[in-house]
Amino acid sequence: MAVTMTETHYQIVKGLSLDAGSYWTATQKYATSANASSTALEITNAPTTGKVVVIDDLLISTDTDMTATIRTTTAQTTIAKIYITAKLPVQITFRNGLRSPDVNNKVEILTSASGNIAVTTSYHSE
């Protein structure tokens, strides 16, 4: 049984509630580094002018045990810290988004050790 609804992002189909997807334009960036401990690895592009980056998903893989500090590029405000085990990929979905507090800043990762790191970031501007 389908119910027609107006001015909503939801449809009820056969008793299930399905959303119509995100209301923002999602962007993905893939970035790698052999040593993000001396030079931070940018994992997003700049947000839309006057906005902040909100990270929705992260996929991180390393070949070395390390700590990854997620921070903004210019202000270098730490947003999160992740302890990563070598050769054990980490996939994180932020239910409410990981919001950068700094307007017009990209987001980067600075690691505690030298080693290969690969990051795929899904994010949007708000």
Please write the tens of the pLDDT for every residue from 81-115.
999 999 999 999 999 999 999 999 999 999 999 99
E-assigned strand segments in the chain = 2-3, 10-13, 16-19, 27-33, 41-42, 53-62, 66-72, 78-84, 90-99, 107-111, 117-125
pLDDT in tens, 5-63: 444 444 444 455 555 556 778 899 999 999 999 999 999 999 999 999 999 999 999 99
pTM for the predicted model, two decimal places: 0.81
Q: CATH fold of 24-125, please? A: Jelly Rolls (2.60.120)
